[in-house]
Structure 1
């Protein structure tokens, strides 16, 4: 008689939270304990050669636990939320087919929710003329001005998107122009096919900001500047969406002689703190998230008990 499948209900574990809060370390622990495989929920980890600045799991960590949706694209290739949705759902099905627990881990809220919340993404055709006009406008006015334009038309979409993410900001404006609706209005939402546990990691803001500052310094010590130099030598520039990621854009400015290195590092720290604040604001709107303060003693045991109570069949 064949054994029953563990993953009979479309089980899915989702771990979210701001950058630098400790998602990677916790996800590795849980993957070991619950036969998990990790699906990156970070929009920038899909790019090859961008390892330090996007805080990818190390090769050693990936050898211990299977990781997915990492190193899929070259830095000059486009990657969209609908492509992420398709690939992530395919990967979840494959992991479930092995009786392993799929775990989405990351901080890109729009990408993660496109998978978990049954979004039917908008079928709005691209308008090359409009995109060219918006790109020219952004070249003249700057990314912040473009982002503010979106905020005036669709505040919720602007809260989701980083000001440096020019391509997706323009896409949101394009959807508004073509449909006359906000991004949320055109994103139809159907029932989720998954039985999920959401874990949100947090800590007091000042402690988080201190960790962010220290992490940026650690990235510099680990060779972030050298990583950006190699990318520049390979022909990648600030015009590519990938090079608008935190850490890369600022160090590109330094390498182009537009600021001192100390200023570039300070800009990375400032930008990352602002990004963490936006991430928390995004995820705080989701009532299904079980929040855990990682600065409190015994937080890991609490999470392990919570997951084991819902998904006992996976416990090794």
Structure 2
């Protein structure tokens, strides 16, 4: 039973390249919604092709939030996303619209939907410098192995190149003797909102083919030039933003470490692995209604099915 005192929040999630954008636009138009991007990379200005960022023209008049809000040198966190998303849900609801979270960054979306409490471990600059120096001397994989030894769940979720988040996970364990994954697992799953969570999925082989086709399209659209432009403007390869898929592989090519063909092969592999991690994260969120969206010819059927789920969850048509 829904409660009028609680804001309704619609959520559409799923792995990269599964087809969230088109469905989100149709649903937003049908439901009178404003979209909150649940993507950790689309916050960065100038990082458009590699993040598959929707263009203003493609938005078709639907308000989109938390896109292009940071320059690439500014680190973005789940805690910041949660704070901004909480404010947006209140503002959108106050306008008589439906807040609609769309994306694939599991921790961000779950933290907002369930009001996660983030670790109170404060920054320990000496510890961070020590870990950073260790990574510089022994390499990213060695630092990742340190995390794997104390928190294998978080290590499986974090890419070895995601140095900032790996060091933060080590820092939390160092200070609290509780792992980041234990902290996440111990969060209450009582939402302050009336949630309707829709997950999109498809056969893994089809998804992987869509991922590879999308990367080929990104390369044709000028992803290499986008990465070169960011580097030319002085954005370091070590930035969190530049560790994103597509950016780190092509930056390695531009540094002479990989041929272009090798970089593209690596990008496709890394993106397939990322999609697998996304699905693993979402599978533990028990309230999601999953929709198999294979085949463009089934769009109308899938759209109608989702509309039915929304109406049933919120107990009246939107």
Q: Answer yes or no: same fold by TM over 0.5.
A: yes
1:20-39 equivalence runs, <5 A: 20-39=17-36
Q: What corresponds to 2:82 in structure 1?
A: 85
1:90-101 equivalence runs, <5 A: 90-101=87-98
1:202-241 equivalence runs, <5 A: 202-241=201-240
Q: What corresponds to 1:193 in structure 2?
A: 192
**What TM-score results when the alignment is normalised by the length of structure 2?**
0.92
Q: Which 4+ runs in 1 deviate beyond 6 A? A: none
Q: Which runs of 5+ in 2 are unaligned?
A: none
Instruction: Report the Cα distance in structure 2 between the residues aligned to 1:307 and 1:146, rounded to whole angstroms.
Output: 44
Instruction: Report the Cα distance in structure 1 between the residues aligned to 2:208 and 2:304, rounded to whole angstroms.
Output: 25
Q: What corresponds to 1:290 in structure 2?
A: 289
Which of residues 300, 306, 309 in structure 2 aligns to 1:306? 309
Deviations along 1:85-106, whole A, 9 cap, x unmatched? 1011111111111111111111
Whether 1:60 and 2:63 are equivalent positions in the alignment is no
Q: What corresponds to 1:242 in structure 2?
A: 241
1:99-118 equivalence runs, <5 A: 99-118=96-115
- How big is the shift at 1:237? 1.7
Instruction: Report the Cα distance in structure 2 between the residues aligned to 1:176 and 1:42, rounded to whole angstroms.
Output: 26
2:253 is paired with a residue whose SS is: helix
- How big is the shift at 1:175? 0.2
- How big is the shift at 1:148? 3.0
Q: Residues 310 and 317 of structure 2 are in contact (CA less than 8 Å); yes or no, is this contact kept in structure 1?
A: no
1:48 is paired with a residue whose SS is: coil
Q: What corresponds to 1:3 in structure 2?
A: none
- How big is the shift at 1:117? 1.5
**What TM-score results when the alignment is normalised by the length of structure 1?**
0.93
Q: Residues 157 and 183 of structure 1 are in contact (CA less than 8 Å); yes or no, is this contact kept in structure 2?
A: yes
1:201 is paired with a residue whose SS is: strand
Deviations along 1:58-104, whole A, 9 cap, x unmatched? 11123521111111111111212111110111111111111111111
1:39-188 equivalence runs, <5 A: 39-186=36-183
Q: Which runs of 5+ in 1 are unaligned?
A: 1-5
- How big is the shift at 1:52? 0.8
Instruction: Report the Cα distance in structure 2 between the residues aligned to 1:52 and 1:140, rounded to whole angstroms.
Output: 33
Q: Residues 52 and 227 of structure 1 are in contact (CA less than 8 Å); yes or no, is this contact kept in structure 2?
A: yes
1:267-278 equivalence runs, <5 A: 267-278=266-277
Instruction: Report the Cα distance in structure 2 between the residues aligned to 1:250 and 1:48, rounded to whole angstroms.
Output: 19
Distance change >3 Å, CA 148–CA 293, structure 1 → 2 = farther
Q: Residues 147 and 166 of structure 2 are in contact (CA less than 8 Å); yes or no, is this contact kept in structure 1?
A: yes
Distance change >3 Å, CA 311–CA 61, structure 1 → 2 = farther
2:69 is paired with a residue whose SS is: coil
Aligned residues: 310
- How big is the shift at 1:16? 1.0
Instruction: Report the Cα distance in structure 2 between the residues aligned to 1:239 and 1:276, rounded to whole angstroms.
Output: 23
2:200 is paired with a residue whose SS is: strand
Whether 1:260 and 2:263 are equivalent positions in the alignment is no
